[in-house]
């Protein structure tokens, strides 16, 4: 929540989804210069890809909303009731052990939010006292009060942003590592060439973040493209930072295979699957059929003449995972199992959240040209994310998987946080 660079508004039910921090005048500009928090003092040119209906809500305006204040009051009341039961200060029927454990957990989870809310109340009282001093006849006292007012305003702003952050629940999958899958879509060889570039971009992004990037599958085409590839990515917040990359990516350019200079449109698909831990997800070995075969493609004489490739089938679901990257059959089996676990875990998550997110459908879709989340237009040197209407320029830098991709990713996270908050307020209002 610290860096609000996007300003978009989308109708959703009775609520409006906005991002927090931009002043009103910025969104009315076609192009605005933004200082990137990821690149020191260098500037990036960002602009919205299409005219958007915009009604900006600042942090102050959000806190003036009745729905937010009612939700905070509800949380504070719930915290107080749980705390009384946990501390034994209320004479009620004794709770069951499970109920008591649940209340202790709730108290623990809500404590940081309640603490920030109380700190905000204290700062607001200090602000009121400071404003009284601004009316004093003593000039020196007024000057000191003016300085104190600036400090109070900054503290209040910081605490409000922190409260908004704490209101957004953490998703269990956000703490996971991930398995990345990229697949060429519509466009033949050009789609495969672009698929290879995107896969390299994510490899670069992993290196930029300091994550490990372990290739599981890598099926190349005749002219150097990539039919399909998958990789295991591990590192702090790796899934949380990568999950918005899932979907259909479209490229518009004159391909290397085009002899008449015509612009082509091709697609590729990205799937981002959270990787469960051994503790959270187990697979019965009786449900697996493990096959070995001779590896194909580049890799040297040993890889191509031994049965090192491994194919694992999960019999109850029919889900398949393969790996032939390593010379060792054992290592290939380990990597294939990692991919299989991620696919099965993703299916489990989808089933649990299908009504709300429909996660896998959104990621894969039909791979058609129109079903896109992002367009890479080489002629205009731009990358546009259609979910939030944001365009960045300099495709070459974007495909390096460094600062520009991180800025796009951060903007998507900001939008998602705001959307989640507004949904939460709407649900709380309906319950009330």
Domain positions in the chain: 63-167, 172-370
What rounded mean pLDDT belongs to the chain?
78
Polymer length of the chain? 432
Q: Is 35 left (phi over 0), alpha (psi -120 to 50) or beta?
A: beta
What is the pLDDT, as a whole number, of residue 38? 31
pLDDT > 70 fraction of the chain, expressed in percent and rounded: 76
172-370 has CATH 3.30.499.10 classification = no
Q: Where are the alpha helices (DSSP H) in 354-394?
A: 359-364
* Predicted confidence (pLDDT) per residue in 170-224, tens digit: 877 788 899 999 999 999 999 999 999 999 999 999 999 999 999 988 999 888 8
pLDDT-derived band at 424 (thresholds 50, 70, 90) equals confident
Q: Is the pLDDT of residue 279 over 80?
A: no
Radius of gyration of the chain (CA): 26
Burial status of residue 224 (CB atoms within 10 A of its CB: 0-12, 13-18, 19 or more):
exposed
> Does 20 have pLDDT greater than 60?
no
pLDDT for 266 equals 94
Q: What is the pLDDT of residues 148-171, one digit of tens each?
A: 999 999 999 999 999 998 998 887
Q: Pick from 209, 339, 229, 348: which is nearest to 275 by CA?
A: 339
Q: Which residue has better confidence, 184 or 352?
A: 184
Strand ranges (DSSP E) for 13-136?
Answer: 15-17, 32-35, 43-48
| pLDDT tens digits along 59-72 | 887 788 889 999 99
Quote the pLDDT of residue 225: 92
**Phi then psi for 194, rounded to 5 degrees?**
-70, -35
């Amino acid at each position: 929540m610290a860096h609000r660079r996007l300003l978009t508004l989308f109708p959703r039910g009775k609520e409006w989804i906005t991002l927090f921090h931009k002043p009103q005048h910025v969104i009315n500009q076609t192009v605005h210069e933004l200082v990137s928090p990821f690149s020191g003092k260098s500037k990036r040119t960002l602009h919205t890809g299409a005219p958007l209906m915009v009604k900006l809500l600042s942090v102050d305006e959000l806190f003036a909303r009745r729905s937010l204040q009612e939700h905070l009051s509800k949380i504070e009341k719930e915290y107080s009731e749980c705390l009384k039961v946990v501390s034994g200060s209320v004479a009620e029927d004794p709770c069951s052990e499970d109920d008591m454990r649940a209340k202790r957990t709730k108290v623990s989870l809500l404590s940081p939010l309640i603490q920030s809310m109380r700190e905000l109340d204290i700062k607001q009282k200090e602000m009121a006292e400071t404003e009284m001093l601004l009316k004093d006849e003593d000039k020196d006292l007024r000057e000191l009060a003016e300085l104190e007012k600036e400090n109070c305003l900054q503290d209040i702003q910081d605490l409000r942003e922190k409260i908004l952050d704490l209101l957004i629940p953490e998703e269990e999958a956000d703490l996971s590592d991930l398995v990345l899958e990229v697949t060429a879509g519509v466009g033949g060889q050009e789609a495969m060439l672009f698929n290879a570039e995107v896969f390299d971009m994510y490899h670069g992004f992993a290196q930029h973040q300091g994550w490990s990037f372990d290739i599981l599958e890598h099926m190349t085409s005749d002219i150097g493209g990539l039919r399909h590839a998958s990789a295991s990515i591990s590192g702090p917040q790796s899934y949380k930072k990568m999950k918005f990359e899932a979907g259909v990516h479209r490229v518009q350019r004159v391909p290397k295979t085009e002899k008449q200079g015509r612009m082509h449109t091709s697609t590729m698909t990205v799937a981002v699957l959270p990787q469960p831990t051994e503790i959270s997800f187990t697979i019965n070995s009786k449900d697996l059929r493990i096959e070995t075969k001779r590896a194909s493609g580049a890799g040297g004489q040993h890889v191509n003449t031994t049965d090192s490739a491994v194919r694992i089938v999960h019999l109850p679901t029919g889900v398949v995972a393969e790996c032939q990257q390593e010379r060792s059959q054992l290592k290939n089996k380990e990597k294939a199992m990692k991919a299989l676990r991620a696919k099965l875990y993703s299916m489990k998550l989808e089933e649990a959240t299908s009504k709300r997110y429909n996660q896998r459908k959104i990621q894969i879709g039909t791979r058609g040209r129109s079903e896109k989340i992002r367009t890479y237009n080489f002629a205009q040197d731009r990358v546009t994310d259609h979910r939030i209407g944001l365009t960045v320029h300099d495709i070459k830098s974007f495909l390096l998987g460094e600062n520009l991709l991180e800025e796009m990713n951060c903007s998507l996270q900001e939008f998602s946080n705001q959307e989640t908050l507004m949904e939460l307020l709407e649900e709380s209002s309906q319950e009330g």
